Structure formats: structure tokens, C-alpha cells
Chains A and B, each alone.
Chain A
Amino acid sequence: DVKVTQSSRYLVKRTGEKVFLECVQDMDHENMFWYRQDPGLGLRLIYFSYDVKMKEKGDIPEGYSVSREKKERFSLILESASTNQTSMYLCASSLRLAGWNRLDTQYFGPGTRLTVL
């Protein structure tokens, strides 16, 4: 079974702090994703990575950065946390990116609920 783990289930930080969210997958997947989930808005893509050291902006990258130094690990960084970044953060991985006429299965971690005070 694919396993995607996230470093924390709950995190409380103060405005202005630098925050690191870590994600690890154990299935040698090429692609990894970071989403934030807010009620009524579904999942919104922040960044994704299709290879080590490669990254692409998603729909809402402002205020975030990412790092992928190893294939199995994808980190989301909030350089200076703000209250509007309070949310549930979900990491996912997939074998392949969506290609023409296909959607690959994404495997999700359990999520990190981040509260910024």
C-alpha cells in the first residue's frame, strides 16, 4: 500500500513565524503535491513537483515556497505565516502527472491542520 505521511497532524504558530510542513511518500512516486483545504472551496493546489528539485506553481502559490531535495520528500514552507494561512494542508503523491485524457490516482496524507495566531 502507498503510504504518505505528514510530519504533524496539528500545528499552532504565531504570525510572522517560519513554518515547515514535511511530507514523505514510500512508493517512489514521481509527482508530489501540496494542497490547502478550506470549507466550501474544496482542495486548491499550492505547488507540485514532478521530479527532484523541480517545482511548478499551482493555483495559489503566493506566500508559500517548496523544496524537494529527495524524491520521497516534499516540504512546504511558509516564510512568514499569516492568519489567512490558517487551514488544512494536504500532501499527495502520484506515479504520473495528469496527461491527455487521463487522471492518475493521487494518494493523500492525513493532513496537517495549521492554526496561525
Chain B
Amino acid sequence: TQLLEQSPQFLSIQEGENLTVYCNSSSVFSSLQWYRQEPGEGPVLLVTVVTGGEVKKLKRLTFQFGDARKDSSLHITAAQPGDTGLYLCAGADTGNQFYFGTGTSLTVIP
């Protein structure tokens, strides 16, 4: 059973465009992380959010944790080719189990 569904699965955009990636679940999560995986490498942590409604910004990336703690979004402003990669969300549920999402593969075309 996949607890964390990400959408879209694939996204190809032109440099300079904005985009939003979603991570959704029917379960409540106590905290949630976003990782980015570049081709040929392992995932690297971008951010952790722990409070419902929390918004965190990392340069051109904005992360939001839903009020009900069941969903999260990642918004990228003015995408650059260096943003290309696989974006994974990961969540810890209230039973201390943790799960990775299905992933969104982003390609930014110069």
C-alpha cells in the first residue's frame, strides 16, 4: 500500500517557468521531508516540516505542510536546469512508521 502519492509523476518545463509538485495521503503524518535525487546519485534532504500549515522557503523553493498534516507541496519559482531531478517526499506517521512517496521526475529544459 502506497501511503504517499506524488503528482505529477513526470514534469518537463522550460527554464524560467514555475511549477508545483504535490504529495498527498489519506493518513496523518507527524512530520514530512522533501528530498531531491540527481541522476546517478542518492537522494539528498531539502527540508523537514513538522507543523500543520508550516511554510518553509529555500531560495526559489517553497515547501508547505497542509493544515490537516495529510499533504504537502513544493513550489519552484523560475526553474533552472540545475533543478532537474527526482523529487521525493517522505513522511513519518503517528505510529512511528516512515514512508517515501512515489516521486516526481522533473526536467528543466534550457
Q: Mark A residues whose CB is within 8 Å of B.
A: 4, 35, 40-45, 90, 92, 97-103, 105-111
* B103 with A105: CB separation less than 8 A: no
Nearest-CB distance from B11 to chain A (Å)?
Answer: 14
Residues of A contacting B: mostly: loop
Q: Mark B residues whose CB is within 8 Å of A.
A: 2, 4, 6, 9, 30-33, 40-45, 48, 50, 88, 90-92, 94, 96-98, 100-103
Most central of A43, A90, A108 by chain B CB within 10 Å: A43
Q: Which 4 interchain pairs have the tightest Cβ spacing?
A: A108-B42, A43-B100, A101-B30, A98-B92
Chain A residues lying within 8 Å of B103, measured Cβ to Cβ, are 40, 42
CA gap between A105 and B4 in the complex, in Å: 18
Query: Which chain A residue lies CB-closest to B33?
Result: A103
Chain A residues lying within 8 Å of B31, measured Cβ to Cβ, are 101-103
Q: How many pairs, one residue from A and one from B, have CB atoms within 8 Å of each other in the complex?
A: 67
Nearest-CB distance from A57 to chain B (Å)?
Answer: 12
Nearest-CB distance from B22 to chain A (Å)?
Answer: 14
* A98 with B45: CB separation less than 8 A: no
Query: Which chain A residue lies CB-closest to B41?
Result: A110
Chain B residues lying within 8 Å of A97, measured Cβ to Cβ, are 96
* B9 with A40: CB separation less than 8 A: yes
Q: Among A43, A44, A101, A110, point to the contact of B50 (Cβ < 8 A).
A: A101
* A103 with B4: CB separation less than 8 A: no
Nearest-CB distance from A11 to chain B (Å)?
Answer: 15
Chain B residues lying within 8 Å of A40, measured Cβ to Cβ, are 9, 102-103
* A105 with B88: CB separation less than 8 A: no
* A102 with B100: CB separation less than 8 A: no
Chain A residues lying within 8 Å of B40, measured Cβ to Cβ, are 110-111
